[in-house]
Each structure stands twice: as structure tokens, then as C-alpha cells.
Amino acid sequence: MKKNLMEHIGEKSPYQDMTPGGIVYGGGNSTDVRTGDWRTVTPVFHPEKCTHCLLCFPVCPDSSIPTQDGKRLDFDYDHCKGCGICAAVCPLGAISFGEKEAEQ
Amino acid sequence: MAYNLKEWSQRPERFAPGHRMCAGCGSPITVRAVLRAVCPGDRAVVTSATSCLEVSSCIYPYTTWEDSFIHTAFENAAATCSGVEAAYQAMKKKGKLDQTYKFITFGGDGGTYDIGFQSLSGAMERGTDMVYVCYDNEAYMNTGIQRSSSTPKYADTTTTATGSRSDGKVQYKKDLTKIMAGHHIPYVAQTTFIGNLKDLHEKAEKAIYTPGPAFLNVLSPCPRGWRYETADIMKICKAAVDSCVWPLFEVIDGKWILNYQPRHKLPVEDYLRPQGRFRHLFLPGNEHLIAELQANVDARWEELLKLCGGN
Amino acid sequence: MSKRDRLSGNEAVAAAIRQIDPDVIAAFPITPSTEIPQYVSQFKAEGRLSTEFVTVESEHSAISACAGAQAAGVRAMTATSSAGFALMHEMLYVVASDRLPVVMAVVNRALTGPININNDHSDSMGSRDSGWLQLYSENAQEAYDNMLMAHRIAESPEVMLPVMVCQDGFITSHAVENILLEDDEAVKAFVGEYHPKDYLLNPARPVAFGPYGISAYYMELKKQQTEAMERSAAVIREVSRQYGHMTGRYYDLIEEYRMEDAQLAVICIGSSAGTGKAAVDELRGQGIQAGLLKIRAFRPFPGREIAAALARVKAVGIMDKADGFSGSGGPLGAEVRAALYQAKASVPAVNFIYGLGGRDVRVDDFYNIFGQLGDMADGAEAPMYRYIGVRE
């Protein structure tokens, strides 16, 4: 897990703790922001139906379909906003979207 | 080398999750695809104009960018990038930097077609070694869907409101890709999200790795502004391409190349119908407006076919 | 070892730039600063400058490219005047708040309305709240010296703020004077190298500049910025002291000319100080205890130093080469009065608006001013401000 170089800064931090000019050190620390909390509909991955064509992973606006060695993994529910694009794009029905699922 | 999405999928993700763009936004799809084209060993400095992308991707104290990033203002992303690239040249010449960096600027159509046009033109004309990527969502979305010169004719926006006295935007969309081709830069391309993103990925790679200035215009639908079903973004892009509203082409060293000709050219209605911003065109009595749009699409398509000649 | 030469203000600044040899210069021509980028081009063509020269298509792009280059990790400079300077206004705030130590040469010229190419201070005064340090030069020598000190001041870890070095358009920029230049090696050693802690082209640690700062953070970042400006005064003094040690030419935040026992004083910025000093000498010869206070560093504003210098003065003429159009006078008028007020020094003061749009400033104007100050010292009422040198 990559260290968030900015994690000591929050909305209660005194001005002395601010980084000069508001510079943000490091990259990609937005992973600490749980945009998955935005979701009202949750996609569900059915790996048994998936052939790993990978049509879904690049059209996820939120980089929430991680892949490994050319195969997709389960959703990153910390960040998935439930837009449904992946489900619409899947040719094999390996992603269901719109059923009443319990929040992960 | 044949396109292989699985191989592309193994490249590191350069645009982290946790940004605040709307669910279903087209912009991050563009960004992820373009950044994926940077070779894993190379680094990037990303510049962005003030835009949905910028305010959502870099909110203090967070950044979604794995690479270095700079935002300064709205109209000057290309100029800012120009300065970064000059610094790179200086450091390279002085032996202060071994690594390879690529310079990629993102702007919405507002920051590219309109307020940012001058600085884009300047940076391209000066031969800056960079890629400018316009994520074209056809209006000033960040401030609430106001018209830009990229907004299509008859689109309903908050500054081209439709009503009994107005059919929406009065002017046709400006052809920025053609204008950039007129800068005689080495690589210009128009693309969007189709299928396995071959078109977008390969064009991004060419743009990034062609020395000198390159320009990519990527149609990036906005579910809020265009008012279509959020999940249907890929259908919208496909309809845009198959109706020839948004042709896929490249201009490589001045040679126009058409990348895709639809086997069955869709009527423009098929593209307009799913979008709420064109809903008024389907009211009875407005058929002539659609006919007008069709005639324009056809004329522009013919023009493009001629430019691309036998290529 | 200083070398004698004869240069105009623009040539002097260009000479300094050549010696500094910044990594990137992005500039756009505008009278009367145009010669500076032209000299850059010429020096480059002759192989005397290694700078990457970006011939941008506007001044807004010039300052934007400088911001990009400086954030990327190198020294970036530009030069401009008047409308071009005003076009940069939005970005001046960005450069300062991003804490980028860009150095800019400003050749002061009146802002349009009507368009005018001659000198006054309305351009740089118009952005006095942008967070940049402002050093004003009386003559070509000062312009040269200020340019050589600017980077050390800007890049000090205590400061990390951009600096503009100003000189009067045409009056200084185009007038040839005797000047002492330092040799290339001495300048190189003095200016040193730029070693930013964080920068875009740092492979070890990527960074993001220019985030969206929500209300929960904006004010804290501004507080940091304002403290940097406060600390810059001491840094200006220290760098100036070291520069004096190297060259024999010592500078401070202000210059006091015959102020020790002055009863009547004027305070001004730029080339008019030279004219004023001649007037002071003449008046002294007539037995009038006249003195002149010249502001070199306007930002940070040396309020305490000004109040201390004026403490025993019977009347002061605060001279502004720009009208703030507040109906109450110009920027110096407001800020000097504020400093006097804070110091509880109730010195009768009047703000003179002079020299607008290149209106000649003569020794006679200073006699006029000192005459009025003499009346004020004797109890005459004075308005908040008045124009001097205008036909009525």
C-alpha cells in the first residue's frame, strides 16, 4: 500500500502544516478518498461468465476494475461510483447492475 | 505489431481512483487511455487547464495523477506545458536529467477551442515537443453546461437555451481538428471510445511518441450535459462515429488518413435521439432542423472523404 | 573587479541576464522592454547565452511558460511593460501563491487609457497585491545590481516568492549612463545555482502544482504566503549586504538622502529620485533642510523604516507616479500614511501625483513641492492629494 505523503494534512491542520504553495507531494494519493460512498447501484462481477476480454476495464472512469496479468479482478468497491458503463459494455453478462445488492 | 488489449492492460495505471468527476464521465476514460500509452519506463508531466478534470483530479491535499502534474489557469495549459518542456530541454542539455519525460496537456473544449485557443496555437506553432489532448464534451461543463464553439448546432445548453423563441445553439461546431492540421504539425488525430479502444490507444501512442507537437481531439461524452443514460456512453460514441458526426481520422505529416468508414452510415437522428440536449429536435414541426443537421454532416463527411483521397 | 561601461537600462538588464544565464526565458515584445528579449536572441545567436528562449505569442503565455519552467525545476525569467504586464495579472497571483521564484524585469510604462508608451508606475502598481516582491531602480546601475540580487532573494528558502525588478521606461531603459559591471565569474559565484526541493521533473518524487484549494485550506495557504513576504525584508537586506561586500555598492530597503536633519521631505520611487536629489542639494544650498527618501523595495512594504525616517520631519510630500483613482490619491500615498499612522507619527502629508504617461519631472517640480511642504510645515492646510505638473 503506497504511503500517502500528505496524510498528515487535514481540514483541522494549522497553517504551519500546509505544504508551500499548496504543492501535493507524491502521486495518486486520491485513493484515500472513498468515492465508492457515492454509489446508489452496485455492479456485481460474475467471474464464472467472464472470459477476460477486458472491454470493461479501460472504460471505467474510476479505474475501479483492477487487472492482473491480462485478467480482470473484482471491483474496487472503495471507488466504484456505480455508473454502469462496464455492465453495458460486457458482451457476456458477466456484470450485473441494477439488482438490489447489499453494499459491500 | 497487432493491437492487444491484454498487453495494454498490464501497463501501470497512471490515473488513480478517488477523483471527483461525475459517475460515468467521459473525461477520465480519455485520460486513462492516453496515459496508458506512455511507455512504462517513461515519465510524464501532465498539464491541465482549469476544467472538470483539473478541479476533480487535484483537490488539495489529494492528486489522482501518479505523474507530476501542474495546473496554473484556464487559458494557458499549452503555454504552461511549453515552459515545462523548455525546462526539460534545458536540463537535458546540461546533463541534469537522465530520464525520459513526455509532456501531455489536457483541456476540455472550453480551454481548447475557446479561451485556450491562442496558447494552444502558439505552443503548437513553436514546435513544442508535447501532446495536447482535448477531451471534447462539447460545452463548458465545469461551470454548468454553457455553450462553447465546440457545441453542436441546435444543442440545448444553459447559454443556448431552447424554448418557443430558440432552437438551441445557432452556430455549427468549429472544426478544431482541421484547424490544428492547418498548423502543419507532425501528428493530428480525431478519436473517441470505440470497442476495445484500439483507435484511441494507438493514436495516443503515436501522438506521444512522434517528436514535436501533436494534437488529439477525443470526443468525451458528458452524461450530465448531454443527458443520455449514463451507462450508455459507448453506444453514444459508436453512434457518433457510425453517423459520421465524429469521424475517426489522422493527419500525419500533412497526409489525411481516414481510419474508419461505417459500412452502414447511420442517420444523424440515431445519434441525436438518445440525448436530452437534442430532445426538442424531435418535437413535431422540427423535422427540418434534423434535416439541416443531416445535410451538414453529409457535406462535412464528403469534404473529409475528399481530403483523405485514396489514403 | 568592476568594469566601467556605458549602457542603457535595457542593456544593463540584458547584461545581467546574460551573466545569470537562466535556463528558460519566455518573453513577448512590448515597448519599452522589447530590447531585452531582442538582446537575449542576439546573445543566443552569438553563443553567449545557453537559455532556452521561448518566443511566446503573448505576455500571458510568457508568464505561464515561466511558471511551468520554474515549477519544472529551473530558473525562468521574462520581461515586460504596461499592457503586457497587465495581461499577466491573473498569472502573477498564481506564480506567487505557487511559491515559484521567477524573476521578471519590468520596464515601467503607463497603462492604457489612453494608450501611451512612456513611463509611469501604473503598471507595476496595478499588481502590487499579487504577492510579488517589487524592487525599483533609480538608474541603470541599480537595475543591473537589482537583477543580480533578485535570484538570491527570490530563491531563499525563507522567501520562495517571485521578484520583479523595475526601472523607468525610456527615462532609464533607453538612456545611456556610466555603469560598473561585475565580471562573469563573480556574478556566477554570487547568483549561484537553483536547487529546488520539489519540482515536476524530479524522478524521485512526482508533485502536483496548482491544486483546487477549498475554503478549508485556502486561508492557511495564504497565511503561509504572507509570512514569506514578511520574512523577505530581512532577506533583501542580507543579500544586499553581501552584494555590497562583493561590489562596494550597498543597498537597503529604502535610501535616505540627507534625511538625518531634514525638516521637509519627499518620498518617491525610481528615476525621479535622481532629479529630487539634485533639487534637495540646491535647496540645502539655500538653507532649506530638505531631504529625500527613495523606496527601493516597495514590496515588502518597508513601513516601519519609512516611519522611522520621517519621524522628525515637519511635512512630507508622498510622490506617486500612478493615481489609484480612489479619489484619495495613489498607492504610496495610502501606504505611507498607513505606516505613519501605525507609528503614531502625525506628520503632515500630502500625496503628489506626478509624471503620468511620461510627463517630464523637473527640478522645478520639486521646488514647487518643497515650497508647498514649507507652507504645510507652517500650518497651511493640505488636501489628501494633488496633481503636480498638469496644465490647469
Strand locations in B94-193 (E): 101-108, 131-136, 162-163, 166-167, 187-191
Q: Report the pLDDT value the prediction gives residue A104, as an integer from 0 to 100.
A: 44
Within a 13 Å sphere around the CA of C235, how many CA atoms are in the beta-carbon half? Answer: 24
Enter the ipTM: 0.97
Confidence of residue A102 (pLDDT cuts 50, 70, 90): very low
Using an 8 Å Cβ cutoff, are B246 and B240 in contact?
Answer: yes
Q: Which residues of chain A neighbour B32 with C-beta distances below 8 Å?
A: 58, 61, 63
Q: What is the least distance, in Å, from the CA of B91 to any CA of chain A?
A: 21
Domain ranges of chain C: 3-247, 254-387
Q: Is the pLDDT of residue B311 over 60?
A: no
Cβ contacts from B onto C, under 8 A = 166
pLDDT tens, position by position, B82-118: 999 999 999 999 999 999 999 999 999 999 999 999 9
In angstroms, the CA B227 to CA A15 distance is 42
Query: For C347-364, what is each residue's pLDDT tens digit?
Result: 999 999 999 999 999 999
pLDDT band at residue C1 under the 50/70/90 scheme: confident
Do A82 and A30 meet the contact criterion of CB atoms below 8 Å apart? no
3-state secondary structure of B228: coil
Cis peptide before B61 (omega within 30 of 0): yes
Nearest CA in chain C to A17: C220
CATH class of residue range C254-387: alpha beta
List of chain A residues whose C-beta atoms are within 8 Å of the C-beta of residue C220: 13-15, 18
Q: What is the pLDDT of residues B61-84, one digit of tens each?
A: 999 999 999 999 999 999 999 999
* Residue B189 structural domain: 5-308
Contacts with B, A 33-92, CB within 8 Å: 33-35, 38-39, 52-55, 57-64, 66-67, 69-70, 76, 78-79, 81-85, 87-89
- Separation between Cα atoms, residue A26 and residue C97, nearest integer Å: 20
| Alpha carbons B112 and B132: distance in angstroms, whole number | 9
**Residue C79: what pLDDT?**
98
Does the distance separating the beta carbons of A25 and C97 come in below 8 Å?
no
Percent of chain C residues past pLDDT 90, beyond the cut:
99
B84 contacts in chain C (CB < 8 Å): 68-69, 71-72, 200-201
| Structural domain count of chain B | 1
pLDDT in tens, B286-307: 999 999 999 999 999 999 999 9
Q: Provide the shortest C-alpha distance from residue B22 to chain A (in Å).
A: 8
CA distance C362 to C272: 8
- Report strand pairing: C103-108 vs C76-80: parallel
Partner-chain contact A22 C198, CB within 8 Å? no
* Average of per-residue pLDDT values in chain B: 97
**C206 and B71: CB-CB below 8 Å?**
no
Query: Hey, are the CB atoms on C211 and A24 less than 8 Å from each other?
Result: yes
pTM for the full predicted model: 0.97
pLDDT, residue B125, reads: 98
The nearest alpha carbon in chain A to B34 belongs to A58
Note the pLDDT tens digit of each residue in C126-165: 999 999 999 999 999 999 999 999 999 999 999 999 999 9
> What sign does the dihedral C191-C56-B34-B32 (CA atoms) show?
positive
Residue among B185, B186, B203 at smallest CA distance from B194? B203
Residue C113 burial (CB < 10 Å; 0-12/13-18/19+)?
exposed
A3: pLDDT confidence band, cut at 50, 70 and 90? confident
CATH number of the A34-96 domain = 3.30.70.20
> Which of C98, C205, C220 is closest, CB to CB, to A18?
C220
CA B143 to chain centre: 18
**pLDDT > 70? residue C282:** yes
**For the domain that residue B196 is a member of, what is the CATH number?**
3.40.50.970
Confidence of residue B310 (pLDDT cuts 50, 70, 90): low
Q: Is the Cβ of B146 closer than 8 Å to some Cβ of chain C?
A: no
Q: Looking at the partner chain, which of C198, C216, C220 has a beta carbon nearest the beta carbon of A23?
A: C198
Instruction: Kindly state the cell numbers that stand for C334.
Output: 495610502
What are the sequence ranges of the domains in chain A?
1-32, 34-96
pLDDT at A100 over 60: no
Please, are residues C228 and C300 in contact by the beta-carbon 8 Å criterion?
no
Per-residue pLDDT of B222-248, as tens digits, reads 999 999 999 999 999 999 999 999 999
Mean pLDDT of chain C: 98
Q: Of C205, C216, C221, which has the smallest distance from its Cβ to A22's Cβ?
A: C221
For residue C50, what is the nearest residue in chain B, using CA coordinates? B90
- What single-letter DSSP state applies at residue B225? I
Write out pLDDT tens, residues B134-173. Answer: 999 999 999 999 999 999 999 999 999 999 999 999 999 9
Over 70: is that where the pLDDT of C252 sits?
yes
C-alpha of C34 from chain center: 18
First vs last C-alpha separation in chain C: 52
Instruction: Give the residue from chain C lying closest to B85, CA to CA.
Output: C69
**Architecture category of domain C3-247 in CATH:** 3-Layer(aba) Sandwich (3.40)
User: What pLDDT, on the 0 to 100 scale, is given for residue A2?
Assistant: 79
User: Same CATH fold, C254-387 and C3-247?
Assistant: yes
Segments of C269-376 assigned E as strands: 290-295, 297-299, 315-320, 349-353
B105: closest CA of chain C, how far (Å): 12
Instruction: Report strand pairing: C315-320 vs C264-268.
Output: parallel
* Mean per-residue pLDDT, C112-116: 97
* Interchain CB distance below 8 Å, C208 and B54: no
